[in-house]
């Protein structure tokens, strides 16, 4: 793979570029699912190809191919240059890049158990054990479970002289119980909705979650929701579990801090951001206890956004995004850093495969844990609504107004759950919400969640991002408007 | 005219036959006969612009071979993007190994039998040959128009060519080449924006400059947006807004989803759920539609009437769901193995005689919506959806557009929405961001629920 990367880099450089980089990627993945006592989707795939990114005539050109013959590589290099030249027909200024060092590194993400060493029948058997437990409750009408595993080796070579060989292992697991009854559908998921938990780990992730032991509770809650009261509408103190808070961070902090979005690159699709450049180091994003980092380093944890180098050869870094409530940083690339006069990219450029151009993507955007115990988060208010596990999510194209729905809620009186609530939802304006943050639980309750399905870019790319959070409480939040009459 | 008798060079039929012959030979060598292959190839390019300049400009080409084997009531799938002999051998071996580790499934049917679908001509040689310079020139002209108006443009112009073939050892050989072009543009003024998007199999059916002009006019007309309170409004949804919102429900017109209890149509088939003026088909052969006329097992797609004058009538059946229901498959199944079954993907919503201008003229007070954004399901059975308006939201007063308004969040049941339609326009091929392109009309709707207002 290194030889292919260097051949492709040479092919681009020989055609006359001011900068070029190449990513050769080989992936292997496995998908396993079960449904109501049977195997569902059982499949595996392998893929290998390369993408050439060339800066010539002051414009970018990118061409990707799975034809890895000499002729195929030469054709891709020619096409990248042809595309760059075409860009001059609508160019305002030459692309400039913030400086970066050259690196020669090999890095493999640490795993305890190679997921591909586990036979697929063992994957299916575990999911069917969960399935049986879920369907012991006769109210469960649909039990679904899934696992996914990926090994991705990427060799990056650039005209700066970098040659970076990274291998990342990703694992994911989750299941859900759906209960249909009398024209109503309720669902509970574990350990999270929309595919469960995903991390930069091997098969050990699967063994960490006590999948079978939690199935009966998950099933019981799905069925019990039918008899639960509807979540009330009004302003309440709101407590969120860490998985829902992870998605709240993703949507209302992670996306607005993408500097390419701020500068207009995504205006036609994902939208722009309320975090205009004048807000940096001025905006009170949240209350004093809100501290958020964007951290791709392995020491942050095994997140979907953890790596050694990003996809333009910049080392993984940690950047303060919100410090004691103050907005202090964006996620940047070499191009956007240069555009706003910053000395260096903070290393967030990522592509979802060999065929796509790297974009600024969330790495691990995490809320630092607070200092309170979980009891203090719940006891600090005499009346609150507690919500768990995302069911729906939506936010406007500048990331002001959001609405989230959760699978389950409870009314909390004096720190105690007094009744289950179905169809809970809440909504608000991003900065008002984060400024209402009143309590954050401590590090023992902090979990680095994986969001495997973040879409951005044209053509769209799907990326995995990480979000660490502890349960937290927010004061006087609008609840229930999704079901308002 | 499509194709002129020429054939896509990406993946000719003969190449598919050669690859499949190798697949079947490898399968025989491993001692089994039932094998299916999905062979796909694509070449696509996209010129992306923002801040009145091209900023991301990409191209990619790829091919895939996906093999499913069936052994004694078991099945599994393996996929590779390498089509050399060694890779074909490996992918057949991998599919075989995965399959042998499965438990038998009594509901698994034998491989599909040949049933040639009608061919649809959707491959255009000229579109397959569009160059980076062609796209850049069209983009430059669109940008120029917007820039002269004092606005900022962002968007894409893409062209692509794709070939899909499904073959199996019972003799199925379904083959479909297609080209596709898309242009979309967002135009931004100081406090407003406009948008336009279209797609076509023939790039010559797109008019980027006219689309830029339409988007620019929307941005201009929505300057200094007023803030209106949330509430129930008369709303006119342009076709892309109808597409993105109503398009959220068609995954529920699936026999498997209904059996699983995850469809809002569970216990509602045959009921009159929507207004008399709502009739919806799934019709891959419709001239405003695109994509292959066969499903994931190579079964020809049948035309369905999903909703007939408000009554829920047909739903899609894959082969397995059809066997369980003792009916015929409709040609809407996903590739096996899968847990979702099937879905209609080629929607045609019948329209009415009322033009968009006539809808506006007949509205004393209401909201005109250009497009919707970030639509998600709030309630799966009431089919309540939430989302935002975006890029051109207007107040209508006394039959005229009175000006722009700040964008709203909505929470609206699709059952209610399609029961409150007062007028429909003739359908057009609509293109959005949150549902498959379809033939959709504009709709004028009463009691549409905006629940919040955002800051712009």
Tell me whether residues B136 and A91 touch, CB distance under 8 A.
Answer: no
pLDDT of residue A485: 73
DSSP at B300: B
Do B194 and B229 lie in one domain? The reply is no
In a domain, B38, yes or no: yes
Enumerate the residues of chain A whose CB falls inside 8 A of the CB of residue B338.
Answer: 40-41
| Residues with Cβ within 8 Å of residue B25, at least 6 apart in sequence | none
CB–CB of B27/B178 below 8 Å? no
Q: What is the pLDDT of residues A392-448, one digit of tens each?
A: 999 999 999 999 999 999 999 999 999 999 999 999 999 999 999 999 999 999 999
Tell me whether residues A92 and B78 touch, CB distance under 8 A.
Answer: no
Say whether A92 sits in a helix, a strand or coil: coil
**Distance (Å, rounded) from C-alpha A152 to C-alpha A4?**
16
CB–CB of A191/A209 below 8 Å? yes
pLDDT of residue B117: 81
| Residues with Cβ within 8 Å of residue B76, at least 6 apart in sequence | A42, A43, A120, B68, B69, B95, B98, B99, B101, B102, B337
Do B48 and B194 lie in one domain? The reply is yes
Of B107, B195, B386, Cβ closest to residue A482: B386
Compute the nearest-CA separation of B259 from chain A (Å).
9
Q: Which domain holds residue B200?
A: 13-205
Find residue B157's DSSP bridge partners.
B47, B183
Chain A 443-482, CB below 8 Å of chain B: which residues? 457-459, 481-482
CATH, residue B96 = 3.30.2290.10
Domains identified in chain A and CATH numbers? 2-227 (3.30.2290.10), 229-483 (no CATH)
Compute the nearest-CA separation of A58 from chain B (Å).
10
Q: What are the percentages of helix, strand and coil residues in chain B, rounded to 5?
A: 25, 40, 40
Do B168 and B268 lie in one domain? The reply is no
Closest chain B residue to A38 measured between Cα atoms?
A: B105
pLDDT greater than 70 at residue A452 = yes
**Distance (Å, rounded) from C-alpha A281 to C-alpha A285?**
10
Three-state SS string over A332-379 comes to: CCHHHHHHCCCCCCCCCEECCCCCCCCEECCCEEEECCCCECHHHHHH
Q: What is the pLDDT of residues A108-157, one digit of tens each?
A: 999 999 999 999 999 999 999 999 999 999 999 999 999 999 999 999 99
Do B322 and B291 lie in one domain? The reply is yes
In a domain, B39, yes or no: yes
Q: Which two tokens stand for residue A21?
A: 């980089």
Enumerate the residues of chain B whose CB falls inside 8 A of the CB of residue A36.
Answer: 260
In a domain, B60, yes or no: yes
Tell me whether residues B451 and A120 touch, CB distance under 8 A.
Answer: no
Mean pLDDT, chain A, rounded, equals: 97
Closest chain A residue to B76 measured between Cα atoms?
A: A42
Radius of gyration of chain A measured on its C-alpha atoms = 23
**Distance (Å, rounded) from C-alpha B238 to C-alpha B360?**
11
Q: What is the pLDDT of residues A29-53, one digit of tens each?
A: 999 999 999 999 999 999 999 999 9
Tell me whether residues B53 and A48 touch, CB distance under 8 A.
Answer: no
CB–CB of B76/B98 below 8 Å? yes
Give the number of C-alpha atoms closer than 13 A to the C-alpha of residue A244, restricted to the C-beta side: 27
**Distance (Å, rounded) from C-alpha B20 to C-alpha B114?**
15
Buried b or exposed e, range A434-454, using 16+ CB within 10 angstroms? bbbbbbbbbeebbbbbbbbeb
> Which of A422, A426, A421 minimizes the C-alpha distance to A405?
A426
Tell me whether residues A92 and B339 touch, CB distance under 8 A.
Answer: no
Enumerate the residues of chain A whose CB falls inside 8 A of the CB of residue B453.
Answer: 401
- Using alpha carbons only, what angle is made at residue A108 by residues A102 and A113, rounded to the nearest 5 degrees? 175
Enumerate the residues of chain B whose CB falls inside 8 A of the CB of residue A121.
Answer: 101-102
CB–CB of A285/A328 below 8 Å? no
Find residue A48's DSSP bridge partners.
A26
Of B81, B186, B266, Cβ closest to residue A267: B186
> Which residues of chain B carry a pLDDT beneath 50?
1
Count up the domains in chain B and report the number. 2
What is the ipTM, given to two decimal places?
0.96
If you write DSSP's letter for every residue of B334-357 in order, what string do you get?
A: PSSS-SS-B----EEE---S--HH
The residue of A65, A267, A355 whose CB has the most chain B CBs within 10 angstroms, and thus the best one to mutate to test that interface, is A267
Find residue A404's DSSP bridge partners.
A393, A426
Tell me whether residues B388 and A64 touch, CB distance under 8 A.
Answer: no
Q: Which two tokens stand for residue A307?
A: 């790596």
In a domain, B1, yes or no: no
In a domain, B212, yes or no: no
Do B61 and B89 lie in one domain? The reply is yes
Do B92 and B184 lie in one domain? The reply is yes
Radius of gyration of chain B measured on its C-alpha atoms = 24
DSSP at B434: S
| H-only helix segments in B222-309 | 239-246, 255-260
Enumerate the residues of chain A whose CB falls inside 8 A of the CB of residue B103.
Answer: 38-39, 124
Do B141 and B284 lie in one domain? The reply is no
In a domain, B260, yes or no: yes
Compute the nearest-CA separation of A47 from chain B (Å).
5
Do B239 and B365 lie in one domain? The reply is yes
Do B97 and B239 lie in one domain? The reply is no
Q: Which two tokens stand for residue B147?
A: 């820039």
**Distance (Å, rounded) from C-alpha B453 to C-alpha B456?**
8
Do B330 and B193 lie in one domain? The reply is no
Find the largest Cα–Cα distance for chain B: 76
- Averaged over A382-396, what is the pLDDT? 97
Compute the nearest-CA separation of A283 from chain B (Å).
16
pLDDT of residue B119: 86
Do B408 and B346 lie in one domain? The reply is yes
Q: Is A71 at the interface with chain B, CB within 8 A?
A: no
pLDDT of residue B6: 65
Tell me whether residues B60 and A356 touch, CB distance under 8 A.
Answer: yes
> Which of B167, B172, B170, B160 minimizes the C-alpha distance to B291?
B160
Closest chain B residue to A44 measured between Cα atoms?
A: B78
The whole-model pTM stands at 0.97
pLDDT of residue B1: 47
Tell me whether residues A43 and B135 touch, CB distance under 8 A.
Answer: no
Enumerate the residues of chain A whose CB falls inside 8 A of the CB of residue B139.
Answer: 89-90
In a domain, B6, yes or no: no
CB–CB of B450/B434 below 8 Å? no
- Averaged over A278-292, what is the pLDDT? 98
Q: What percent of chain A has pLDDT over 90?
A: 99
CB–CB of A254/A270 below 8 Å? no
Do B260 and B323 lie in one domain? The reply is yes
**Distance (Å, rounded) from C-alpha A471 to C-alpha B287?**
53
Closest chain B residue to A184 measured between Cα atoms?
A: B381
In a domain, B5, yes or no: no
């Amino acid at each position: 793979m290194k030889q292919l990367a260097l051949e492709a880099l040479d092919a681009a450089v020989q055609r006359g570029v001011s900068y070029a980089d190449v990513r050769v990627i080989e992936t292997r993945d496995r998908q396993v699912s079960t449904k109501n006592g049977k195997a569902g989707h059982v499949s595996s795939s392998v893929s290998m190809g390369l993408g050439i990114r060339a800066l010539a005539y002051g414009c970018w050109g990118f061409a990707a191919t799975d034809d890895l013959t000499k002729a195929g590589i030469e054709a891709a290099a020619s096409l990248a240059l042809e595309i760059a030249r075409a860009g001059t027909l609508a160019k305002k200024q030459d692309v400039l890049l913030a400086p970066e060092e050259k690196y020669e590194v090999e890095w493999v993400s640490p795993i305890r158990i190679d997921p591909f060493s586990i036979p697929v029948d063992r994957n299916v058997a575990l999911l069917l054990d969960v399935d049986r437990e879920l369907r012991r409750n006769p109210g469960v009408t649909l039990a679904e479970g899934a696992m996914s595993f990926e090994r991705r080796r990427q060799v990056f070579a650039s005209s700066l002289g970098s040659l970076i060989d990274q291998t990342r292992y990703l694992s994911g697991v989750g299941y859900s119980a759906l209960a249909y009854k009398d024209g109503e559908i309720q669902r509970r998921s574990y350990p999270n909705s929309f595919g469960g938990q995903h991390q930069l780990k091997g098969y050990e992730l699967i063994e960490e979650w006590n999948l079978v032991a939690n199935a009966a509770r998950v099933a019981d809650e799905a069925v019990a929701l039918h008899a639960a009261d509807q979540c009330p509408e009004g302003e309440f103190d709101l407590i969120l579990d860490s998985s829902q808070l992870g998605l709240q961070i993703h949507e209302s902090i992670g996306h607005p801090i993408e500097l390419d979005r701020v500068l207009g690159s995504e205006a036609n699709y994902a939208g722009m951001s309320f975090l205009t450049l004048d807000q940096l180091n001025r905006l009170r994003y949240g209350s004093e206890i809100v501290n958020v980092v964007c951290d791709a380093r392995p020491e942050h944890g095994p997140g979907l956004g953890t790596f050694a180098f990003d996809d333009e050869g910049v080392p993984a870094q940690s950047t303060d995004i919100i410090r004691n409530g103050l907005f202090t940083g964006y996620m940047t690339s070499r191009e956007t850093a240069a555009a706003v006069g910053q000395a260096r990219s903070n290393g967030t450029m990522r592509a979802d495969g060999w065929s796509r151009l790297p974009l600024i993507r969330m790495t691990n955007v995490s809320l630092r844990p607070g200092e309170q115990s979980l009891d203090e988060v719940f006891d600090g208010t005499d009346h609150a609504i507690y919500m768990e596990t995302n069911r729906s999510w939506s936010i406007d194209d500048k990331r002001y107004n959001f609405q989230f729905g959760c699978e389950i809620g409870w009314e909390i009186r004096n720190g105690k759950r007094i009744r289950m609530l179905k169809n809970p939802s809440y909504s608000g304006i991003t900065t008002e919400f984060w400024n209402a943050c009143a309590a954050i639980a401590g590090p023992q309750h902090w979990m680095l969640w994986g969001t495997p399905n973040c879409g951005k870019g044209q053509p769209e790319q799907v990326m995995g991002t990480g979000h660490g959070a502890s349960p937290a409480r927010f004061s006087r939040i609008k609840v229930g408007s999704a079901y308002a009459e | 005219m499509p194709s002129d008798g020429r054939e896509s060079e990406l993946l000719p039929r003969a190449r598919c036959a050669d690859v499949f012959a190798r697949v079947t030979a490898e399968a025989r060598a491993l001692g089994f006969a039932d094998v299916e292959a999905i062979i796909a190839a694509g070449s696509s390019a996209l010129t992306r612009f923002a801040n009145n300049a091209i900023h991301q400009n990409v191209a990619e080409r790829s091919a895939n071979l996906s093999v499913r084997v069936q052994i004694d009531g078991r099945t599994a799938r393996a996929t590779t993007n390498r089509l050399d002999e060694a890779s074909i051998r490996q992918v057949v071996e991998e599919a075989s190994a995965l399959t042998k580790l499965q438990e038998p499934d009594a509901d698994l049917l034998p491989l599909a039998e040949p049933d040639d679908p009608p061919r649809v001509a959707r491959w255009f040689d000229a579109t397959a040959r569009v160059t980076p310079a062609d796209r850049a020139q069209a983009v430059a002209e669109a940008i120029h128009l917007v820039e002269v108006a004092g606005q900022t443009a962002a968007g894409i112009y893409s062209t692509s060519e794709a070939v899909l073939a499904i073959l199996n050892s019972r003799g199925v050989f379904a083959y479909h080449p297609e080209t596709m072009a898309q242009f979309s543009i967002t135009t931004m003024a100081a406090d407003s924006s406009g948008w336009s998007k279209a797609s076509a199999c023939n790039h010559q059916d797109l008019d980027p400059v006219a689309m830029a002009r339409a988007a620019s006019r929307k941005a201009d007309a929505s300057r200094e947006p007023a803030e209106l309170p949330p509430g129930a409004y008369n709303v006119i949804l342009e076709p892309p807004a109808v597409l993105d919102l109503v398009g959220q429900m068609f995954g529920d017109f699936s026999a498997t989803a209904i059996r699983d209890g995850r469809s809002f149509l569970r216990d509602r088939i045959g009921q009159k759920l929507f207004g008399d003026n709502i009739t919806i088909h799934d019709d891959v052969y419709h001239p405003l539609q695109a994509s292959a006329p066969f499903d994931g097992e190579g079964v020809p797609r049948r035309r369905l009437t999903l909703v007939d004058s408000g009554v829920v009538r047909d739903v899609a059946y894959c082969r397995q769901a059809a066997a369980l229901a003792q009916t015929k498959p409709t040609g809407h199944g996903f590739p096996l193995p899968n847990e979702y079954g099937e879905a209609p993907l080629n929607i045609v919503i019948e329209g009415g005689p009322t033009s968009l201008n006539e809808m506006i003229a007949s509205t004393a007070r209401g909201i005109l919506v250009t497009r919707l954004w970030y639509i998600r399901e709030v309630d799966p059975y009431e089919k309540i959806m939430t989302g935002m308006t975006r890029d051109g939201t207007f107040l209508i007063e006394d039959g005229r557009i009175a000006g722009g308004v700040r964008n709203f969040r909505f929470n609206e049941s699709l059952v209610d929405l399609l029961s409150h339609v007062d007028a429909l326009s003739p359908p057009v091929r609509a293109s959005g961001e949150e549902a498959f392109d379809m033939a959709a009309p504009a709709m004028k709707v009463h009691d549409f629920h905006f629940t919040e207002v955002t800051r712009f």
